[in-house]
Structure 1
């Protein structure tokens, strides 16, 4: 036995001096290379989950961006937390859609001055921007009463993106817009962190290909039901509608901050019958009982759409889960109506 161990022990004895002679920092550097890489990543802050998802996909292998509007919160009604303010103060890069959606961020971002690179993604080159539609029942065209109601809603505190002449800020609900925003995200990250440029660019190319595949998948999924009219909680789906030629007949409320009154609910109830709307969709963040009132006594079914990913876990796959979820909810409800 001693003779069998002899050669092994001799080899080990010859190697020990070489190991001990290694520079003192080499072994810790090998052990903690991943930690050091993460520490070198820039501090990146994102506003909402869909944007966080796109940024996360492009930053994979470099770092993880921080998210402000987390959980089931909505950017339409969000109030900044102290932790959000601290994250912004430490940020090297901030991504948001723009003041039309995240109005609560406008002043905090102005206070940052030149301390961070701020990318307003509603300025991304190549975006398709659709004008905001006035009034909730937009098929057929609104009559005078509905315009008056829309104006009243604006006076009651509708947000910036609902101003006359503005554009709909739910830009990410078209995968081609997501591609345009991803391109701006990549350019911004490369400029802020050139050491990781190749990783960002490689991830962006992979994301681009996945978005093209997603676009084809959704088009095929909704094609059988695209001509069936339906009602949504608020007018957040115009980009999805425009991309896939689906038929949204109207919305229950002009803006999610404005709770519809009895007259508005009564109007939409009539519209469900007049238009033959087959489904009425709620949203997780807002009052679901309104949907029950709207469909009461009609043949319409109810469903749920989640345009801001309130019920989804943040991460690089969220965008794809979000878009497939909208397509699947529409297909399931409209197919059975």
Structure 2
């Protein structure tokens, strides 16, 4: 009898403790953020990834399964329309009843302004204590490190179309402003949306993710907050590891394919010298390529970094006639397995690639 009771009791405990079946349905836009959410949900449930690895987050057509994930979501975590402009309508129409968390608008998120031009100067990361409009929120701890001057120009980017936010070019306006290297016709928000490349932001978001999950699923709140606390400790260890990787090549000069890395640069005090393409999806003009080539030669730039999803031929054109090394850096984890380990591996790989290239 006791053995039977024990068996029934164990079965009941097993059924009652199957947290994954009770976990809220969560949808996340990009792989790095999905990784953070997966880390907080570890042992409780698994979030759905909307933008698949290797795809551009700026323009994307939802698959039926991804639309279904949004439609059935209890919670949605996404960067915001500055990164995935097409997703705003999808979230509003498909995830109408879900709790939506827009990380670029979250309290505590450190935001950096877009940089102008092909070449980055030392003042790009200078302190601007009087710049009160730089952030959407108060960030006393990070403001001195990250404040930038406000810019009035429009920049290259995808605009949201009527259905999925795919790119729409205003060719007349674009032609009238060729001297701005294609800024016109690519309206976007004030801030650089690649904010996940800051470990400080990731740590802020881990607590926010845990709080949002706990509000929807209070029975597992303890697990969520414990996972977030452990992940934050892991971020501190990762930060020290990355600094140690970069220290031997500190002071080296490098060029990136597009201006997506300034959060990483600012956090580890390792600034890039310029970007081949200002926007995430627009090819650089011949004048811009010539400007970058001149800097590589004049300053003996030793490294030019490509990205998996961009045209390698453009990088080869920039490298022509120079002795710079090249490497492939991946800010989205395109070649990594989605999951809780993707985010730290992504940052670790970026540091290793940069160090090896230099």
Quick check: TM above 0.5?
yes
Which position in structure 2 is the counterpart of 1:329? 353
Deviation at 1:150, TM superposition (A): 7.0
Question: For residues 175 and 141 of structure 1, what CA distance do their matches in structure 2 show?
Answer: 22
- Does 2:234 correspond to 1:210? yes
Which position in structure 2 is the counterpart of 1:158? 186
Local SS of the residue matching 1:202: helix
Question: For residues 18 and 140 of structure 1, what CA distance do their matches in structure 2 show?
Answer: 73
Cα distance change of structure 1 residues 80 and 112 upon mapping to structure 2, 3 Å threshold: closer
- 1:43 is matched with which residue: 5, 25, 29? 25
- Does 2:218 correspond to 1:190? no
Cα distance change of structure 1 residues 190 and 18 upon mapping to structure 2, 3 Å threshold: closer
Any idea what the Cα deviations from partners look like across 1:97-124, whole Å, max 9, x if unmatched? 1111111111111224651000001123
Count, aligned residues: 307
Which position in structure 2 is the counterpart of 1:128? 110
Local SS of the residue matching 2:221: helix
- Does 2:92 correspond to 1:110? yes
Question: For residues 324 and 24 of structure 1, what CA distance do their matches in structure 2 show?
Answer: 46
Deviation at 1:136, TM superposition (A): 2.4
Deviation at 1:41, TM superposition (A): 0.8
Question: For residues 91 and 258 of structure 1, what CA distance do their matches in structure 2 show?
Answer: 33
Which position in structure 2 is the counterpart of 1:80? 62
Which position in structure 2 is the counterpart of 1:9? none
Cα distance change of structure 1 residues 159 and 283 upon mapping to structure 2, 3 Å threshold: farther
Deviation at 1:139, TM superposition (A): 3.2
Is the Cα–Cα contact under 8 Å of residues 226 and 247 in structure 1 kept in the other structure? no
Question: For residues 226 and 74 of structure 1, what CA distance do their matches in structure 2 show?
Answer: 31
Is the Cα–Cα contact under 8 Å of residues 77 and 257 in structure 1 kept in the other structure? no
Deviation at 1:79, TM superposition (A): 2.1
Which position in structure 2 is the counterpart of 1:99? 81
Local SS of the residue matching 1:232: strand
- 2:194 is matched with which residue: 147, 157, 170? 170
Q: Which runs of 5+ in 2 are unaligned?
A: 125-154, 156-176
Question: For residues 141 and 27 of structure 1, what CA distance do their matches in structure 2 show?
Answer: 64
Tell me which structure has the larger Cα radius of gyration.
Answer: 1
Which position in structure 1 is the counterpart of 2:305? 281
Q: What is the TM-score normalised by the length of structure 1?
A: 0.84
Higher helix share: 1
Deviation at 1:28, TM superposition (A): 5.4
Q: What is the TM-score normalised by the length of structure 2?
A: 0.80
Question: For residues 113 and 46 of structure 1, what CA distance do their matches in structure 2 show?
Answer: 12
Cα distance change of structure 1 residues 223 and 277 upon mapping to structure 2, 3 Å threshold: same
Deviation at 1:274, TM superposition (A): 1.9
Is the Cα–Cα contact under 8 Å of residues 280 and 291 in structure 1 kept in the other structure? yes
Is the Cα–Cα contact under 8 Å of residues 74 and 310 in structure 1 kept in the other structure? no
Cα distance change of structure 1 residues 213 and 271 upon mapping to structure 2, 3 Å threshold: same
Cα distance change of structure 1 residues 140 and 205 upon mapping to structure 2, 3 Å threshold: closer
Any idea what the Cα deviations from partners look like across 1:18-61, whole Å, max 9, x if unmatched? 63xx5997675466566x43211100000001100000000011
How large is the Cα RMSD of the aligned pairs? Answer: 2.4
Q: Which runs of 5+ in 1 are unaligned?
A: 1-14
Larger mean CA deviation between 227-236 and 73-82 belongs to: 73-82
Which position in structure 2 is the counterpart of 1:90? 72
